[in-house]
Amino acid sequence: VFPSSLTKNNEMEGGLILMKLNTNKDKVEDFDQLKAAYAQIVLSYKDMEGTETLANSSTVEIPLSIPESKYQSTTIRKGIALQRYVRHCKSLLSSETDAKDLGKFNEFLGDLQKEADDLRDAKLDEAVKLSTKLAESMKEQLEQQS
């Protein structure tokens, strides 16, 4: 979930929710022939006071094959990049990190830097720079431990 920034009136409009959906090919006849699937998305939440539950639903068409290179929307591309960034950071920080883990993380940061450059996104670029410093610090700590 990537919420939008707050407005001057402390209101938020929009945001991006990324979901990774798995297919159950065994339950759908001629699955390989399908071009799209449909899903009912329901969003429910409570108001600011927590007294009233609000809901909104929508049926969406989900194309079954879109190469990542075909995403035209910079918002979607940035959202996917941020999701991967969070996943890699969690993985790095939640395990007993070794040189191999740092190598994978640095490789990912190289890919993320390319995406930040392509999107011309200063905040994503800054995240890469800060993460690179973190990885360098962790590498130094590992070297001192050995």
pLDDT digits (tens, 9 = 90+) for 94-137: 767 788 888 888 899 999 999 899 889 898 899 999 999 988 88
> For residue 98, what pLDDT is reported?
81
CB neighbour list of residue 48: distance below 8 Å, 6 or more residues apart: none
Q: Do 105 and 132 touch, CB atoms closer than 8 A?
A: no
> For residue 133, what pLDDT is reported?
92
In the block, tokens 């070794």 appear at: 98
Strands 36-46 and 2-3: unpaired
pLDDT digits (tens, 9 = 90+) for 12-64: 776 777 777 777 777 777 766 777 778 888 888 888 788 888 888 989 887 76
